[in-house]
Amino acid sequence: MSAVAPPPPASAPTPARRSARDSSASWRWSDRLGLAFAWLLGLAFLAVTVAIVLYMMVQGIRYVRPELFVTPPAQGVSEADSGGFLDPLLGTVIVAAMAMAIAFPLGLAIGVWLSEFGNPGWLARLTESTIEMLAGSPSIVFALFGTLLFEQGALGFLSRTNDGVVYGRSFFAAATMLSLIALPLMVANVREGLQAIPAHVREASYAVGKTRIATVRRVLLPAARPSVVTGAMLGVGRVIGDTAIIVVLLGATLRFNGAGGVPLLSTLKGTGSTLTTFVYQNAPTGEINQPEKAFAAGFVLLSMVLALNFAVDVAARRGRRWR
Amino acid sequence: MALGGPQSRGLLPDQRAELMLGALVCAVLLFVLALVVFVFREAWPSFQHNGLRWFGTGGTPDQQIQAIFTSTDLGQKPVYTFHAWPIVWGTLVTTAGAVCLSFVAALFVSVFVVEFAPAWIRALLEPVVRLLASVPSVIFGLLGVLVLVPFIGQHVITDDNRRSVAYIVSLSGYSLLAGILILTLMIAPLMIAVFSDGLRAVPRGWLEGSLGLGINSWRTFWKIGVRTARPALVAGTVLATARALGETVMLAMVTGGVSFAPNPADGLIFFVEPTRPLAATILQTAEQLTSAPMRHTIFAMAAVLLFSAAMLSLAGWAAKQPMKKYGVRT
């Protein structure tokens, strides 16, 4: 008995990670440097982001006036007589609604097909890589393709036409190409949401005699709704933040510049601008150069993005059911 | 969708739904195929005319663009000569600079977030990363133009610097440096998101094993966590590179808008020289699409971007294959 060394007492501190972390004073200098660097960069990253948001907020609150929201932009040489940003604000809303009207059903369909059908396999793989390529492609390339597409005579009814020459810049053109940048986010989120649903949910639905498509519609999509909503809101975020497509395909004119006689349709067929192009043109590098207006519009744009982000967080929290 | 009367036209509702969804998928694929084909078809005359010299040096692109644009005015022969090296070089330098900087930053930040940050900092940092990733690029551009560019112009560039290159290019603060710094800030959140996913997927037991051997927690995570997550590091870098290549508006605003190739031989002045990457050039010349040879030239630039994006997405796919082992989905 006495020859055997006593076992370590049960209360001996286990070499837990916490204690190892706490005693970093005993580490080699290179490890300590690394840890210090990680802390430094992490805090710096936090500080920079907070600084950016705070700076935009402060500048925005300094320059935002309620009347800016209801005054259309005007030709002017000073901050006082260049109007507000009613038209760009409406333009942002219109463009986001139209682009999502295309991207939402398409993204839903592709996501459902990829997750629930995906037959034949090569087509599914091709679709996946195509969507991934779309996500990585610069939006300016889509914009250029848009000019080609909408200058075709057959699509002339979607924009202004002058003596048979199709102008090719309109809300229709811009929204169609913008839907391409929202599509990958939509597809990825729908797919992820559907795949997170356990197989037994599908089997239970089949067992009570539902067809596959009925299962998708009545069981899976309602269950995956938070992911669908997340995808749609991320898509809206990308769409309202895009500038290149708007500059090239919407003309980025100061005000709505309708085409044709029908009231609403003429606006959609005509050119206009959004908050992003308004900021772009009002920045010192732009054509109008009214930085205060740019800050005000940028503040509104950033607030919209922040609100969307917050909504995505809420939706994601509600979507944890299956995970 | 295709839910109608049962078994009409001899197809089950399921088959009909599958066919309709498949048709939609095919339609989107055809649309993207048309996009690629038409962009390259429109670009072809410019490449055909210049060959590989398209990417070469010789002359200033701005003057060449002017010549190409005006060549249709007087019924002359269309001009296609375009040597895009300064623009391509500007793209390469801004992208490489931003990717290198943000790789280091994102690696340390994601290690910090995943392993070393106290809970409250982690709870703060995660939404902040997502927020920064969704800020529109025009807002970064605005901040760059109104904050960073004047700072560089007044405090970084000295009068001596200005004089020393005055006969080549004027230094105003609109510079490579401003572009690289802001681009770093824009792509770092993307990298952090992918890196963190990869680092979180490292099997806990591997780390515990190393800790159990008495290796300290930093060394453990650096040698085992980060190495295991290497595929995620590659995938995140590829994703961020694609974003950096395609970044248009911010770079058009802060890099100066002249097709000048910053010269490394100028020493540190290199970083404060202006340039203009491909995507920004397309944006700023988009008004000249009406002239046929100019349109071909602009589409040639777009084709280069599209090709690079496709290659990068291929590389990203290849890098992601080993990650499936650890169950990481990105």
pLDDT value, residue B53 = 86
Reported ipTM = 0.87
- CB pair distance less than 8 Å for A55 and B139: no
The nearest CA of chain A is from the CA of B307 a distance in Å of 9
CA A235 to CA B242: how far, in whole Å?
A: 18
Taking the Cβ of residue A206 and every Cβ of chain B, the question of whether any pair is shorter than 8 Å is answered with: no
B139, B172, B194: best to mutate for the A interface, most A CBs within 10 A: B139
* pLDDT single digits (tens) A30-73: 888 999 999 999 999 999 999 998 999 898 888 888 888 888 88
* Buried b / exposed e along B241-275 (16+ C-beta atoms within 10 A): bbbbbbbbbbbbbbbbbbbbbbeeebeebbbbbbb
**Of the given ranges (A92-106, A221-235, A254-268, B168-182), which has the lowest mean pLDDT?**
A254-268
Average of pLDDT values for A3-23?
48
Contacts of B25 in chain A (CB under 8 A): 109-110, 113-114, 123, 127
Distance from the B17 Cα atom to the nearest Cα atom in chain A, whole angstroms: 7
pLDDT of residue A89: 92
Instruction: Return the closest-CA partner of residue B147 out of A61, A55, A302.
Output: A55
Question: Look-up: residue for tokens 């410019």?
Answer: B46
Select the residue of B2, B185, B313 nearest A48 (Cβ to Cβ): B185
Q: What confidence score (pLDDT) does residue B9 get?
A: 57
CB contact under 8 A, B136 and A305: yes
Residue A292: name the closest of A92, A88, A80 by CA.
A80
- How close B270 gets to chain A, by Cα (Å)? 22
Tell me what pLDDT residue B2 has: 45
> Nearest CB to A141: which of B105, B257, B302?
B302
Please name the residue that has the structure tokens 């291929």: B314
| Chain B environment of A135 (Cβ under 8 Å) | 313
CB contact under 8 A, B249 and A39: no
Q: Is the pLDDT of residue B271 over 80?
A: yes
Q: Mean pLDDT over residues A191-211, rounded?
A: 91
| Contact (Cβ atoms closer than 8 angstroms) between residue A308 and residue A230 | no
Q: Say whether B304 sits in a helix, a strand or coil.
A: helix
pLDDT confidence of residue B148: 92
How many angstroms separate the CA atoms of A76 and A90, rounded? 21
Of the CA atoms within 13 Å of residue B50, those in its CB half-sphere come to 26
H or E element at residue B25: helix B13-50
Q: How confident is the model at residue B4, as a pLDDT?
A: 46
CB contact under 8 A, B17 and A109: no
Q: Which amino acid is at B80?
A: Y
Q: Which residue has the higher pLDDT, B268 or A11?
A: B268
Return d(Cα A86, Cα A68) in angstroms, integer.
7
Alpha-carbon distance of A280 to A244, in angstroms, equals 10
Residue B320 pLDDT > 80: no
Contacts of B283 in chain A (CB under 8 A): 140, 244, 247-248
Residue A16 confidence (pLDDT): 43
Give the pLDDT band (50/70/90) at residue A2. Answer: very low
How many inter-chain contacts (A to B, CB under 8 Å) are there? Answer: 260
Contact status, residue B201 vs residue B328, Cβ threshold 8 Å? yes
Question: What are B285-302's pLDDT values in tens digits?
Answer: 888 888 888 889 999 999
- Average the pLDDT over each of A61-65, A107-111, A238-242 and give the range with the smallest value: A61-65
pLDDT at res. A11: 45
The whole-angstrom distance between B91's CA and the closest CA on chain A is 13
* Residues B185-234 pLDDT 10s: 999 999 999 999 889 988 889 999 999 998 888 889 998 999 988 888 98
Closest alpha carbon within chain A to B139: A298
With an 8 Å Cβ cutoff, are B29 and A127 in contact?
A: yes
B176 CB-near residues (< 8 Å, 6+ apart): B90, B93, B94, B97, B255, B262, B270, B271, B272, B273, B274, B275
- Residues from chain B contacting residue A51 (CB–CB below 8 Å): none
Search chain B and give the residue with CA nearest A102: B28
Higher pLDDT: A43 or B11? It is: A43
With a cut of 80, say whether residue A80 has pLDDT above it. no
Answer yes or no: do B136 and A39 touch at CB < 8 A. no
Task: Taking each helix axis as running N to C, give the angle between helix A275-282 and helix A86-112, from 0 to 180 degrees, rounded to the nearest 10.
Answer: 130
Instruction: Supply the pLDDT for residue A319.
Output: 65
Average pLDDT rounded to a whole number, residues B69-87 = 81
% of chain A surpassing 90 pLDDT? 41
Q: Name residues whose C-beta falls within 8 Å of residue B115's C-beta, 6 or more positions apart in sequence.
A: B199, B217, B221, B225
Q: What is the mean pLDDT of residues A136-164?
A: 84
| Residue type for position B66 | Q
Between chains, do B310 and A244 touch, taking CB under 8 Å as contact? no
pLDDT at B75: 67
pLDDT band at B14 (very low <50, low <70, confident <90, very high): confident
Residue B7 has a pLDDT of: 46
The letter for the amino acid at B223 is K
- Average pLDDT of chain A, as a whole number: 85
Residues B189, B129: Cα–Cα separation, whole Å: 5
Q: Choose among B116, B242, B286: nearest Cβ to A35.
A: B116
Whether the per-residue pLDDT at A185 is higher than 50: the answer is: yes
| CA dist., res. A322 & res. A196, Å (int) | 6
Is A46's CB within 8 Å of B310's CB? Answer: no
Minimal-distance CA residue of chain B relative to A241: B136
State which residue of chain B sits closest to A123, comparing Cα positions: B26
Pick the closest to residue B202 from B294, B316, B110 (CA basis): B110
The answer to whether the CB atoms of B42 and A142 lie below 8 A apart is: no
Out of B130, B135, B137, the one facing A302 most closely (by C-beta) is B135
Q: Pick from B26, B35, B134: which is nearest to A305 by CB?
A: B134
Tell me the pLDDT tens digit for each residue of B120-163: 999 888 888 888 888 999 999 999 999 999 999 888 888 888 88
Interface check for A37 against chain B (CB to CB < 8 A): the answer is yes
Q: Which residue has the tokens 């996946």?
A: A128
A147–B contact, CB cutoff 8 A: yes
B325 pLDDT band, cuts 50/70/90, is: low
Are residues B58 and B50 in contact, defined by beta-carbon separation less than 8 angstroms? no
Write phi, then psi, for B81 (nearest 5 degrees). Answer: -55, 120
